[in-house]
Structure 1
Amino acid sequence: MVRSQEAKMDDAERPGPSDQLWSVFEFARRYRLAKREENRLLMLYGPTASLRDLLANASRHSLMS
């Protein structure tokens, strides 16, 4: 018995945890981003983006500065 290609997913095709869509608002709250940084991410991606993109493009400023 042969499985159809539609039913079989390779590991490379499966969405990983970093590929899931996140709310930019939730991401900013969870990672304690400044409102200015949250607005920048909203302009860049809209209300949702992949966790990978958010982590790669978000920046937190040091609280010690």
Structure 2
Amino acid sequence: MAKVEHPSLSEELWSVFDFARRYRLDKREENRLLMLFGTFASPDKLLANARRHSQIG
């Protein structure tokens, strides 16, 4: 059987729009990530740079 290679997290690209929706980021944070990376970025960079602002308070 042939071995299937999966791309590593650093090679895979995610849509910044989908990432923001999945992690429930507000529009301001989504726009900040879009300015940093454009429309696609690696998940490890998105996770390392995303900020979640608490809406409780």
Q: With the length of structure 2 as denominator, give the TM-score of the two structures.
A: 0.81
Tell which structure's C-alpha radius of gyration is larger. Answer: 1
> Structure 1 stretches (4+) deviating beyond 2 angstroms?
none
1:45 and 1:62 map into 2 onto residues whose CA distance is 23
Gaps of 5+ in 1: 1-13
Q: How does 1:1-65 map to 2 (within 5 A)?
A: 15-16=7-8, 18-19=9-10, 20-65=12-57
Shift of 1:15: 3.4
Count of residue pairs the alignment pairs up: 51
Identity of aligned residues (%): 67
1:31-54 per-position Cα deviation (integer Å, ceiling 9, x unaligned): 000000000000000000000000
Q: One-letter code of the match for 1:57?
A: N
TM-score of the pair, normalised by structure 1: 0.72
Q: Which has the higher contact order (CA 8 A, sep 6+)?
A: 2
